[in-house]
Homo-oligomer: A and B are copies of this chain.
Amino acid sequence: MGVAKKQAVRNKQAIIAAASRVFRERGVDGVGVADIMLEAGFTHGGFYNHFESKSDLAGQVCAAAFADGLSDLKSVVDQSLATDPRAFRRALENYLSKGVRDDPGQACPTATFAADAPRQGEGMQKAYAEGMQGFVDTIEQYFAQRDGLSAPVARERAMEVLVTLVGAITIARGVGAAAPRLSDSFLKAARRKLPD
Q: Which residues of A contact B (CB under 8 A)?
A: 26-27, 29-30, 110-111, 113-119, 122, 125-126, 128-130, 132-133, 136, 155-156, 159-160, 162-168, 170-171, 173-179, 182, 185-186, 189-190, 192-193
A114 touches B29 (CB 8 A): no
Complex CA gap A44/B179 in Å reads: 34
Q: A193 to B160, Cβ gap below 8 A?
A: yes
Whether B115 contacts A182 by the Cβ 8 Å rule is no
Closest to A189 in B: B159
Q: Which residues of B contact A26 (CB under 8 A)?
A: 119
Contact of A167 among B30, B133, B163 (CB under 8 A): B163
Given contacts A165-B167, A167-B165, whether A177 and B27 have CB atoms under 8 Å apart is no
- Among B159, B166, B179, B186, point to the contact of A185 (Cβ < 8 A): B159
Residue contact A132 to B163, C-beta cutoff 8 Å:
no
A190 CA / B156 CA spacing, docked (Å): 9
Contacts of A177 in B (CB 8 A): 118, 122, 125, 129
CB-CB under 8 A from A136, the residues of chain B are: 182
Task: Flag if B30 contacts A179 (CB, 8 Å).
Answer: no
- A176 to B176 alpha-carbon distance, docked (Å): 27
Distance in angstroms from A194 CB to nearest chain B CB is 11
A38 to B183, CA, bound (A): 37
Q: A178-B128, A179-B133, A182-B133 are in contact. Are A110 and B189 (CB under 8 A)?
A: no
Q: Out of B128, B176, B190, which one reaches A118, CB within 8 Å?
A: B176
20 extra A-B contacts, CB within 8 A, seeds A27-B119, A159-B189: A26-B119, A29-B30, A111-B170, A115-B116, A115-B170, A115-B174, A117-B175, A118-B174, A118-B177, A122-B178, A128-B174, A128-B175, A129-B175, A129-B178, A155-B185, A160-B193, A162-B186, A164-B164, A166-B167, A170-B170
